[in-house]
Every structure is written in structure tokens, then in C-alpha cells.
A and B are shown apart, each in its own frame.
Chain A
């Protein structure tokens, strides 16, 4: 048996061990033991993934007692990359869980489900055929659904969230199943290695691609299949949200890459256009929704839609470019997609874990009731801050490198050596740049809001004022998440080379390391070396700091009791800007997209028309997709259900009549 096979075996074995540990260790030590065991499982996954990424081969086949084909696990390089990503998230989440788990989250069932969920995610990209893939996909969905139910007895919203989540997971599963079925019937095999023979301009290929993109898009939270994200995330425990939002949605990306790069390479231009449009709409819609939300975890959930939108935009651009034979830029956009996915996995884990730390310390998750946490929770603040920088694509984080690669490959995409390749590209690439830019701009506001309102200013509630730093295991996970973001951000070269090796490049190599770990894309002649930028900044910072130091010796800081209240006596904490008011200008700008409902009630003082006793303002931003798209469909289904109830009134006579009529029809049909 090869090393890869052993690694896969170890993952399965350790998962079993975790389940046993979770159910057998007494409550005192359960979280510690199960957390370590979960982290070990994920470490095994990380090692296996790293080996597969490095180009090792090997497989594990698990035969059934039934007369079905055995489950085949044989990760490719691309699969190895996604295994590694899911496992890194898994390690962080498990370590964090040791300190975070309490109450229902620390139950044996919850830990066992976490182990199953994590191993399911790690084995989805290892699957070598469609049936094993779908099996692992369902293991992942099952584990996450159980975890989502963790707190169902405390909050009734959980039930509705679980219903939405499972319904959407099943829709996604059915779409993927249908897509694979189309491919398998054409190719005559369910193995991924043989399914790729199909002619890519045939109808069957088109149908399969659309089904797969929709199915995987739903898992990745693309508009209009994103409704489960903002519902599931606030109800799940934070480390589960992190695993779902960082690792599980990446499996959607893996699926689409599997479809577009491995199974159906070189599709017609409309495939690329379709994926680009889906991605672009999701990116803008996701970030606009995120920017106006005050619930931190809902905000992060919408931001996941945004980031996955950008990834799909990049993948779509690469398919489009390849269709017009702009191979070098196509390779570069694909690299951008992988970098975006990696960066998102890292910063979204850290952000969700940070949100969990805030909730753990204050019991609050609504930004409007937080504030002043920077001094009370410095570790959380620093890690969350770094992750927020990455989410806003600022240097020197992974998010910046990823978005820089995407923008560079897009602006070099519309022409080769200044001559246009096709009109479609001349229109698509500027639109792509505009979408990325608008998204980046609004993301900047969103994450300044998330960080600034939660961590700066004065506490907006008593709970926030009484917050204290979280336990060590949570801090460790947070800090390592932030360090990962900075590592990719400062030394992207070797990492980008590893990422680029997972997809077949047409001209070798897509990316090179330059300088001190910088990234250079020879195909389009661009380079970025963040380490040099850091050195330059440090060189400028040193004299500045010396001046500050000298000045502060002569003029130390004086702390006064009150901030300026505009002539009023006291600026009370309640008078600060909140997250809602922070996003208000943007709500007005995007009025047509967000359709906010405002309800203003003025109570006048006595008879006066000018003096006001009380003013009540209610503003709600509705999810347009949910109200306009899902409501009508659900209402229709409900109406149909009511009609069907008339046919089912419980009378035995009526049922006998139905059987009789059915029998008659069958006889008539047979006779014909």
C-alpha cells in the first residue's frame, strides 16, 4: 500500500477513534480529548493532501458487502490541494473548539458529527469516481446538518435554518447527480478518469455543465442559490460556521474546477460567459448585502457569497479566455481563482472564529451592541484585524495577492499584444474589472465597519464593556489563522507555484518566484514582491517612529475625560455611530437593489408640532432574492399542497375509487 493509501486509511481510522473518544470520555475531558483527536484526523488529511499535491500517486479502495462498486479514493494534485485546504481549516477549527465548546456544542454527538463532517470534506476531493464523490458529498452534508442542529432546543430559528439548509443541500445534490449522470451515460463510466472523453460542444456536455455549475454553485453560495448561507451561519456554533464557510464552500469550487478543467476542458465561450455572469452577480449582490448587515455572522455569510462570486468570475474568465485561445491569460485567471479560494479559506476561518470569540466573551453578535473590544480582547482584535484586511484585499495579506492576480490577468485578457482577440472579451474583461473593483470598494467599507464598530470606540452595551479575552486554545487558532494570511500575503511565490502545478498549464510555467518570495507571471509580464514592499515600508517607518519617539518624550499624551460633544455636555456611548448608521449612506446609494423598508414614528410633545417626545425608526433591508424568487415558488408549492389535501380526505371509499381508476387506466394503456 502506498503512502497516500496509508494516509487515507489513517484519516478514516482516526475519525472512528474520534467518535469513540467523543462517546466514551467523561464530560470533563471530552472537549480536550475529542478536539485533539479531531485535530489529529485533520493533520492526517493535511499530510495526505500535501503528498497528493506534491504529485504522489496512490489510492484506497473500500469494498462493500453489497454487489456495488467499491468506494475509490485516489486524490489528484488538484484534489490534494483542496484536501490540504479543508484539513488546515479543520485543524484550526478543532483546536478552537477545545476552548469554545460548551453546553450543547460539547456533547458527544456534536464532537462525533464534527469529526464526520471534517473527514467528509477532506475526502470529497479525494474521490476518484462519481459515486464515491457523491457518497462523500452526502457524508459532508449529513455531518454539517447534525452540527447545525446543535442548539435547536434553545432557539427556534435553528429549525427553520436547518430546513432551508437541508433543502438547498438536497437541491444541490440532485443537480450534481443529474450532471454526473449525463456525463456518465455519454462516457459509459462513472470514473473521473474516463468521464472526460465527451465532446465538449455537444448538447449533453452543455447540459451537464449547466447542471454541475448550478449544483456546485449552490454549495458555494452563489446567487440565487445562496439563501441558506445567511440563515445557517448565525445559527450554527461559530467554529462550525467557520468550517462551513471556509472549507465546505470551497468544495463547490473544487467541483466546478473538476467540471471545467478536468472533465470538460475547452468548452464553448458561452460556458465561460455563464459562469462569469453568475460569479459577477453574486460578488456584487453578496458584498452589498454584507455591507448593510449589522449581524456579524450574517455579514460574514454574505461576504462568503461575494468571495465565491469572485472565484467563479475568475474561473468563468479562464473558460472564456481558453475558448478564444488566449491560453496564457487563461492560466493566470485560473491561478487567481485558486489563490482567491485559498485566501478566502484562511481569512474566513479567522473571521468566523473571531466572531465566535466575540460571542463567547460578550454573548452579543450584533455589531450595534458591541464596541471597545480592542483593549479588552487584544489577541482577538489583532487576528480579526488581519483577517479583515485580507477580506478587504489590502496589502500585505493573502487577499491582496489574490485580487492583484485576478485584476492583472483580467486587464491582460482582452487583447494579445494590444490587438483585440474577440468582441466578447473586449466587453467581458472591463466588466469583470469593474465588478472586482466595485466589490473591493464596498468590501473595504464592510470590513472597516465590522472591525471599527466592534473593536474601536466605546462599548455600546454593558456586555461589551465587561468582555474579557478568550481561552488559550481559541487564541492559538486565531493567531495561527492570522499568521497564515500574512505568510501567503508576504511570500506568495512558492505557494502560487504549488497552486499552479495543480492545473494543467499550456505554456510552462504559469508562475515563478522572484525576489524574496514574490510572485511573477511571465505569460503576462507582471510581478509583485510584497516582501520588498514590507522592507521599504519598514525603512520609511523607522525614521518616522524615531521622530514620534523624540516628540512624545517632550510632549506626552494627555488623557482627557470626554470626547468632544459638539457643544453638548456629554457625548454618551449611545450617541456614537452604530453599524446600521455606518452603512446608511450606502443603503441610499443602493436603494434599488436593497429595497429597504423604513418605518418612522414620531410622538409629539403635547400640542407642539415642533417639539418631539419620542422618535422611533425601524429599517429593514430585505433579501430581494428571497422575497421575489423563493416566496412565490414556496407559495405555489403550498397552494398545490392544499389542493392535494382535498384529494386525501381519509375516506376509504375514495381511496378504493382511486385504485380502481388507476387500474382501469393501466389496463387501457396495456391494451393499447
Chain B
């Protein structure tokens, strides 16, 4: 069982490293087509990574080793997420249950690393991005944890693989009002956490509106490549998680060649579908003002809170 879990973890790792740039490419391509442009093709992010890795990183005078270590820490936290989350399969490694609290904190390590990179260069933009990024992260956390709480109630544990398995075996749980509320809350939180519209505009280069881009301004070469790949991976695994919670079919629970293949194909299809959906949604949406974001997050917090209390009082 342990060997099978290790194999599945390695498969997830490889699949997501390959898939993350593709997903971002698909998102950009769908958006371009919807806006009447030709687009650069779905392999463009891969080409960008290759380009960045072939350049010398430039560090401003006065910046420290955080500029080198921070991007690696972000990448590492995203890679850990790939291994820990039940994406292709729900087999879990010994002593490493896919506990949601652990997963959130591993993700937060990446958030902090990015914020420190933003501060390190000592420019106004980096600080601004970092400050906004952390404000959003601080306000997202209550929603995320309460949504986890709501999801954990029907299963009696916050271990994600158990939650996904329960949803697979009793699909009625998925469309229960409690679960829908929690999922909506979680989806909003994930959009905020990964810097998508309406919280952050991922394609902007206008200094005053950007969050993520502002922090990455001083990074270049492989530092920038790690930052980008880390963020893409985070987006991809979180979308994968959402899709597995909403439609757990195809995820492998016992280890055979066929189930592995089905798991890989199902995950790929689900992620690309969700990515397309996200991209289409973003075309019709504008970024909200930064100071309206707390209202959005407060709304999703209320949904999560309702989900938790309702699951006891209604059921």
C-alpha cells in the first residue's frame, strides 16, 4: 500500500509539473480567442520558462539571499501540495495524511515566501504588492478554515483523502446545501488566494492595480521562473482539489494500471475544463477595487459559517 501511495505521489508530481504551464496556456488561449485575438498557443508558458532559465538573474544592489531562496521556497511549497493533495488518487503516505490544516499551512509558507521576496528588493512596488498580498491572505484564512470545517463534518475528519472518498461513495453529500455553501466559499477563497479575478488581475502590468506582479518585479531569470512555476502549480493543484471535491469520479482508490490511467486522464480533463470555465468567467468580470475585496471575502466567510452551523442544526 505504501509503495502504491509513493507511486501515485510521484505520478501526481510529474503530471502537475507538466500540466501547470499547459493549464495557464489554455487559460490565456481561451481568453485570447474570446477577446477576438489569435493568442500565443497553449505551449507559450513552457516556452517562457525555458527562456527565463536561459537568462542570468539580475539582483539589485542591497537585496539579500532571500531573493534567491524565496522563489525556491514557493516552488517547494507548491510541489509539496502536489504530493499531499488527493488529486489522481486518494492513497495517502504513511504518517502524512492529507490533513487540510497541514495543507493550508504548507500553502501559507509559499505565500510568506512570495511576500518576503516582494519586500527584499526595497522598492515601493514590491512593498505595495507584498502588503496587499498579505492583507488578502490574512482575510482569506478564516474562510478557508471554516470551509474545511464544514467539509469535514459529514466525514468526521479533516483528512482530505477521506473527504474525497466519502464524496465518491455517497454522491448525495456533494449536492447537499451545506456542501454547496462550503464549496462556493472555498471557491471564492481559492480565487483570492491564487490571485485571479475579481481579486487580482493576473494579466495586468499597471503598477497601481497589481498584487502578484508587483512582488515579482525585481525577480528575473530562474528566480522569476520559480516564482511563476510555483504560482502556476498552486493554481493548478487548487483547481484540481476543487474539481475533485465537486466531481470526485475517476479518482483512484485502489492501485491498478487501469485505475491509474483513468485517474490521470480524469484529472487532466477536469482541470482543463475548470480552467476553461475560469477563463470564460474572467472575460466577463472586472477586478474589484482593493478595498472592496474584504467585502467579498466577508461574504464568503458568512457562507462558510452558515455551512458549518447548518450542518448540525439542519441535519
Given contacts A404-B102, A577-B130, contact A434 B112 (CB under 8 A): no
Contact B121 A563 (CB under 8 A): yes
Complex formed: what's the CA distance from A514 to B94 in Å?
A: 11
Given contacts A426-B313, A551-B53, contact A563 B131 (CB under 8 A): no
Residue interface mask A558-597, B partner, CB < 8 A = 1: 1111111110000101011100011111101100000000
Across the two chains, which residue of chain B brings its CB closest to A562?
B60
Complex formed: what's the CA distance from A527 to B115 in Å?
A: 30
Q: Is B16 an interface residue (CB 8 A)?
A: no
Complex formed: what's the CA distance from A585 to B154 in Å?
A: 37
Contact A427 B309 (CB under 8 A): yes
Cβ 8 A contact of A582, one of B127, B207, B313: B127
Given contacts A415-B153, A526-B158, A537-B76, contact A565 B123 (CB under 8 A): yes
Cβ 8 A contact of B145, one of A437, A516, A584: A437
Across the two chains, which residue of chain B brings its CB closest to A426?
B312
Range of interface residues on B (Cβ < 8 Å): 35 or more
Complex formed: what's the CA distance from A525 to B291 in Å?
A: 41
Complex formed: what's the CA distance from A400 to B101 in Å?
A: 10
Q: Is A533 an interface residue (CB 8 A)?
A: yes
Contact B119 A577 (CB under 8 A): yes
Complex formed: what's the CA distance from A552 to B144 in Å?
A: 38
Complex formed: what's the CA distance from A651 to B25 in Å?
A: 93
Contact A536 B80 (CB under 8 A): yes
Given contacts A407-B101, A566-B207, A577-B126, contact A444 B108 (CB under 8 A): yes
Residues facing A in B98-132 (CB within 8 A) are 99, 101-102, 105-106, 108-109, 111-112, 115-116, 119-128, 130-132
Residues facing B in A390-419 (CB within 8 A) are 392-395, 400, 404, 407-408, 411-412, 414-415, 417-418
Complex formed: what's the CA distance from A63 to B149 in Å?
A: 55
Give the top 3 A-B pairs by smallest Cβ distance, nearest first.
Answer: A577-B127, A441-B141, A457-B122
Cβ 8 A contact of B56, one of A392, A395, A555: A555
With a cutoff of 8 Å between Cβ atoms, the chain B residues found around residue A411 in the complex are 148-149, 152, 158
Residues facing A in B136-192 (CB within 8 A) are 137-142, 144-146, 148-149, 152-154, 156-158
Cβ 8 A contact of B83, one of A414, A536, A582, A584: A536
A: residues with CB less than 8 A from B are 291, 371-372, 374-375, 389, 392-395, 400, 404, 407-408, 411-412, 414-415, 417-418, 420, 423, 426-427, 430, 433-434, 436-438, 440-442, 444-445, 448-449, 451-453, 456-458, 514-516, 518, 525-529, 532-533, 536-537, 540-541, 544-545, 548, 551-552, 555-566, 571, 573, 575-577, 581-586, 588-589
Q: Is B66 an interface residue (CB 8 A)?
A: yes
Could you tell me the distance in whole angstroms from the C-beta of B313 to the nearest C-beta in chain A? 6
Residue of B112, B217, B222 most packed against chain A (CB within 10 A): B112
Contact A544 B115 (CB under 8 A): no
Contact B59 A434 (CB under 8 A): no
With a cutoff of 8 Å between Cβ atoms, the chain B residues found around residue A552 in the complex are 222
Contact A558 B58 (CB under 8 A): yes
Contact A426 B309 (CB under 8 A): yes
B: residues with CB less than 8 A from A are 53-66, 68, 72, 75-76, 79-80, 83, 93-97, 99, 101-102, 105-106, 108-109, 111-112, 115-116, 119-128, 130-132, 134-135, 137-142, 144-146, 148-149, 152-154, 156-158, 207, 217-218, 221-222, 290-291, 294, 301, 305, 308-309, 312-313
Cβ 8 A contact of A575, one of B124, B144, B152, B301: B124
With a cutoff of 8 Å between Cβ atoms, the chain A residues found around residue B119 in the complex are 448, 452-453, 456-457, 577
With a cutoff of 8 Å between Cβ atoms, the chain B residues found around residue A526 in the complex are 99, 157-158
Across the two chains, which residue of chain B brings its CB closest to A457?
B122
Contact A456 B56 (CB under 8 A): no
Complex formed: what's the CA distance from A593 to B135 in Å?
A: 16
Q: Total contacts A to B, CB within 8 angstroms?
A: 252
Contact B124 A562 (CB under 8 A): no
Could you tell me the distance in whole angstroms from the C-beta of B295 to the nearest C-beta in chain A? 10
Complex formed: what's the CA distance from A532 to B105 in Å?
A: 15
With a cutoff of 8 Å between Cβ atoms, the chain B residues found around residue A412 in the complex are 156
Across the two chains, which residue of chain A brings its CB closest to B112?
A448
Across the two chains, which residue of chain B brings its CB closest to A561?
B61
Complex formed: what's the CA distance from A561 to B63 in Å?
A: 10
With a cutoff of 8 Å between Cβ atoms, the chain A residues found around residue B122 in the complex are 371-372, 456-458, 563, 571, 573, 576
With a cutoff of 8 Å between Cβ atoms, the chain B residues found around residue A394 in the complex are 105, 108-109, 112
With a cutoff of 8 Å between Cβ atoms, the chain A residues found around residue B132 in the complex are 585
With a cutoff of 8 Å between Cβ atoms, the chain B residues found around residue A533 in the complex are 80, 96, 102, 106
Could you tell me the distance in whole angstroms from the C-beta of A513 to the nearest C-beta in chain B? 11
Contact A408 B101 (CB under 8 A): yes
Complex formed: what's the CA distance from A418 to B156 in Å?
A: 6
6 contacts between A and B (CB under 8 A): A394-B109, A430-B149, A532-B96, A555-B54, A566-B207, A582-B127
Cβ 8 A contact of A541, one of B63, B76, B135, B222: B76
Across the two chains, which residue of chain A brings its CB closest to B207?
A566
Across the two chains, which residue of chain B brings its CB closest to A555?
B56
Across the two chains, which residue of chain A brings its CB closest to B142?
A437
With a cutoff of 8 Å between Cβ atoms, the chain A residues found around residue B158 in the complex are 408, 411, 526
With a cutoff of 8 Å between Cβ atoms, the chain B residues found around residue A558 in the complex are 56-59
Cβ 8 A contact of A458, one of B62, B95, B102: B62
Complex formed: what's the CA distance from A305 to B241 in Å?
A: 36
Cβ 8 A contact of A589, one of B99, B102, B294, B308: B294
Across the two chains, which residue of chain B brings its CB closest to A411?
B149
